A = this chain, B = another copy of it.
Amino acid sequence: MLPFARVTIIGLGLIGSSVARAVQEAMPTVRVTGYDADATVRDAADRLQFCDDVAGSAGAAVIDADLVILCVPVGIMGEVAAEFANELPADAVVSDVGSCKAEIVRALTEALPNATVIPAHPVAGTERSGPEAGFATLFRGRWCIVTPPEGADPVAVERVSEFWRRLGAQVETMAPEHHDRVLAVTSHLPHLIAYTIVGTAGDLEEVTQSEVIKYSAGGFRDFTRIAASDPTMWRDIFLNNREAVLEMLQRFSEDLSHLQRAIRWGDGDALFDLFTRTRAIRRSIVEQGQDDDVQDFGRTHG
Q: What's the Cα separation between A195 and B281 when bound, in Å?
A: 11
Q: Name the CB-closest residue of B to A247.
A: B206
Q: Which residues of B contact A112 (CB under 8 A)?
A: none
Q: Which residues of B contact A283 (CB under 8 A)?
A: 228
Once the chains bind, are A298 and B301 in contact (CB under 8 Å)? no
Give min CB distance, A244 to chain B, whole Å. 9
Interface stretch, picked from A45-53, A61-69, A103-111, A208-216, is A208-216
Q: Which residues of B contact A168 (CB under 8 A)?
A: 302
Once the chains bind, are B123 and A271 in contact (CB under 8 Å)? no
Q: Which residues of B contact A260 (CB under 8 A)?
A: 246, 249
Give min CB distance, A272 to chain B, whole Å. 5
Q: What string of 1s and 0s marks CB contacts (under 8 Å) between A219-241 and chain B?
A: 11111111111011011101100
Give min CB distance, A230 to chain B, whole Å. 8
A114 within 8 A of B: no
Q: State which of B209, B226, B277 has its C-beta within 8 Å of the C-beta of A219.
A: B226
Interface stretch, picked from A4-12, A90-98, A153-161, A184-192, is A184-192
Known: A145-B215, A193-B197, A220-B185. A225 touches B278 (CB 8 A): no
Once the chains bind, are A274 and B222 in contact (CB under 8 Å)? no
Q: Name the CB-closest residue of B to A267.
A: B239
Copies in the complex: 2
Give min CB distance, A284 to chain B, whole Å. 5
A291 within 8 A of B: yes
Q: By CB atoms of chain B within 10 A, which of A128, A193, A217, A253 has the most?
A: A217
Q: Name the CB-closest residue of B to A191.
A: B219
A135 within 8 A of B: yes
Q: What string of 1s and 0s marks CB contacts (under 8 Å) between A125-148 and chain B?
A: 111100001010110111101000
Once the chains bind, are A182 and B211 in contact (CB under 8 Å)? yes
Q: Name the CB-closest residue of B to A192.
A: B259
Q: Which residues of B contact A275 (CB under 8 A)?
A: 195, 227, 229, 231, 234-235
Once the chains bind, are A292 and B299 in contact (CB under 8 Å)? yes
Once the chains bind, are B190 and A215 in contact (CB under 8 Å)? no
Q: State which of B181, B199, B224, B264 has its C-beta within 8 Å of the C-beta of A291.
A: B224
Q: Name the CB-closest residue of B to A300.
A: B292
Known: A141-B302, A172-B214, A271-B235. A295 touches B126 (CB 8 A): yes
Q: Which residues of B contact A178 (CB under 8 A)?
A: 206
A245 within 8 A of B: yes
Q: Name the CB-closest residue of B to A301.
A: B137
A198 within 8 A of B: yes
6 pairs of A and B residues whose beta carbons are closest in the complex: A187-B218, A140-B302, A231-B275, A190-B219, A228-B282, A126-B296
